[in-house]
Amino acid sequence: NAGVTQTPKFQVLKTGQSMTLQCAQDMNHEYMSWYRQDPGMGLRLIHYSVGAGITDQGEVPNGYNVSRSTTEDFPLRLLSAAPSQTSVYFCASSYAREENLNTEAFFGQGTRLTVV
Amino acid sequence: TQLLEQSPQFLSIQEGENLTVYCNSSSVFSSLQWYRQEPGEGPVLLVTVVTGGEVKKLKRLTFQFGDARKDSSLHITAAQPGDTGLYLCACHGAGSYQLTFGKGTKLSVIP
């Protein structure tokens, strides 16, 4: 099983460039989310989606856009990269069931992004 | 957003030693999850605890949920180098699928 697949694994951008981080899952999960992980800061939620066509902001959304046109894919777009966006980005997915909120989150392997 | 505090932030021990790491909040958890993240990988779920006072065991790992559901601990017996990693606690917001993570405990087990 592929699970959650993120591409690319590594990326270097120049300040002001744009790019899209890809995330795909094959588990038919309704809920998908993007986190960034910085040293000493833990995982911080950027954006999330509870289903196709529905997205919302998390704790640190500025500078990032998302869309969810299919259940499987949840790309994260950096519109104009800044050095402060240097980080490791993780995509996660899980079931969304009203009767059970304690669902397991499955994570991709991460994208290490450096903005110079 | 519920604030999760984990301690210690770093822990370096010799193989065979025992250790305990902690996760605390000023608010009551509806449930709590523990994840382990190995270098270069995403976090992987170890356990979910739901009931106050609950104890769950996973081989050499013992997870405890406080009676008041405001704290949790993870105890590792006879640590091995394969236990090396970042241990994260996480909780869902009230009525939400959003997961909030603590900053983690980075464990190094030296052979």
Strand order in the sheet with A64-66: A4-7, A19-25, A76-78, A64-66
Q: Do residues B63 and B46 touch, judged by C-beta distance below 8 A?
A: yes
Q: Which chain A residues contact residue B41 at CB under 8 A? A: 109-110
The pLDDT value recorded for residue A16 is 97
pLDDT by 10s per residue, chain A, length 116: 679 999 999 999 999 999 999 999 999 999 999 999 998 888 999 999 999 999 999 999 999 999 999 999 999 999 999 999 999 999 999 987 766 667 889 999 999 999 99
Residues 53-82 of B with CB under 8 A from A: none
Residues 6+ apart with CB under 8 A from B69: B28, B29, B30, B32, B52
The pLDDT value recorded for residue A101 is 67
What is the 3-class SS of B36-93, one letter each residue? EECCCCCCEEEEEECCCCCEEEECCEEEEECCCCCEEEEEECCCCHHHCEEEEEEEEC
The pLDDT value recorded for residue A1 is 66
* Residue A103, min C-alpha distance to chain B (Å): 8
Q: Is A92–B1 a contact, with Cβ atoms under 8 angstroms apart?
A: no
Q: Which amino acid is at B96?
A: S
Q: Do residues A103 and A29 touch, judged by C-beta distance below 8 A?
A: no
The pLDDT value recorded for residue A82 is 97
Q: Which amino acid is at A23?
A: C
- CA A66, distance to chain mean position in Å, is 8
Q: Return the bridge partners of B50, or none.
A: none
Which segments in chain B show pLDDT lower than 70? 1-2
Candidates A10, A25, A102, A109, partner chain B, best to mutate (most B CBs within 10 A): A102
Q: Which chain A residues contact residue B33 at CB under 8 A? A: 102, 104-105
